[in-house]
Structures are given as structure tokens and as C-alpha cells.
């Protein structure tokens, strides 16, 4: 049995079966033709759909570097909370970064080509892979209200 972490009771089984499909990213023609997750998703589309399902709102169609730069729908934080978006890359550049959702207690829900289906990894599992070794940063849905507290996820 696969351990899906603390989100297991809150996500329908269908979410755990979503296949990784790189061409299905937010705003892509493939998603415009067939919205939702049944035809697969990349990491961003998957994370955004989980957020929407759990009532955190719907984010605009932002790619990872756009997400990192965004200040209208999200804000940067240094304290990590459940359902915050974490961006990982091989460098500290947000362009092409991988997106996952913090689900608590050193657990990140994400969808990647390596696993093929949604999985929950700890931060050490990301750090052990060259393509994810750098945590670019953390974004929270919604507009920020003042400075973030200095309790980092790193």
C-alpha cells in the first residue's frame, strides 16, 4: 500500500491516479481542449487542481517562473504551511522549476515524470536528485499581509 501522507483522506482516489503528461500544463492547448486531470497533468497543473479541490481557490495559468514572480494571486513566504507551493530546481532559478504542495511534516505532494503518478516525498528526497536539489522558494495562494515570519522550509 502506498503512503499518501496526511492528504489521503481529503483527496479522492482519482487524484492519486493522474498520469504525468508534460504537455498538459496550465494554459496549454491540451488543457484548453480537455480541462481537468483525467488526461494527465504536469506538476503545476496537478498542484493547482489540488489547491482548487481543497478550497484554496483557483490560480491563474502560471508557469513556474511566472508563479515565482507573481504578486497578484500568490505571495512569497519563508514559513511553510500546508498547501503552500514549493518550487524546486537544479539551481535557484525559477525558470522550469518543479512545483509541489507542502502537506506537512516534511511531506511534499507532487507529480513528476520519474514517479509517473502523484507521490509524497520528503525534502531529502528532492535534495538527493540533481534536478530538484535546490528549493527555489515557497509561495502561498492569496495576497500577502505583511512580512513573512522567518521560519524557513530549507
39-89 pLDDT per residue, tens: 999 999 999 999 999 988 899 999 999 999 999 999 999 999 999 999 999
Sign of CA dihedral 71, 101, 114, 125: positive
CA distances from 152 to 86, 102, 135 (A): 12, 13, 11
What pTM, to 2 d.p., does this model score?
Answer: 0.89
Q: Say which CATH class 12-141 falls into.
A: alpha beta
**Do you know the residue count of the chain?**
154
* Domain boundaries of the chain, sorted by first residue: 12-141
Contact 89, 98 (CB under 8 A): yes
Q: pLDDT value at position 149?
A: 33
Amino acid at each position: 500500500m502506498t503512503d499518501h501522507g496526511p492528504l489521503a483522506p481529503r483527496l479522492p482516489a482519482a487524484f492519486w491516479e493522474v498520469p504525468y503528461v508534460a504537455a498538459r500544463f496550465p494554459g496549454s492547448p491540451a488543457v484548453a481542449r480537455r480541462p481537468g486531470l483525467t488526461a494527465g497533468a504536469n506538476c503545476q497543473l496537478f498542484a493547482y487542481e489540488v489547491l482548487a479541490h481543497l478550497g484554496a481557490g483557483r490560480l491563474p495559468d502560471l508557469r513556474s517562473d511566472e508563479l515565482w514572480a507573481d504578486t497578484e494571486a500568490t505571495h512569497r513566504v519563508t514559513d511553510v504551511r500546508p498547501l503552500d507551493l514549493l518550487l524546486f530546481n537544479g539551481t535557484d532559478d525559477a525558470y522550469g522549476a518543479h512545483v509541489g504542495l507542502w502537506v506537512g511534516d516534511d511531506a511534499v505532494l507532487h507529480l513528476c515524470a520519474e514517479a509517473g503518478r502523484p507521490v509524497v516525498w520528503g525534502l531529502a528526497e528532492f535534495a538527493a536528485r540533481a534536478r530538484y536539489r535546490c528549493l527555489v522558494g515557497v509561495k502561498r495562494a492569496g495576497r500577502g499581509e505583511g512580512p513573512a515570519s522567518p521560519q524557513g522550509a530549507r
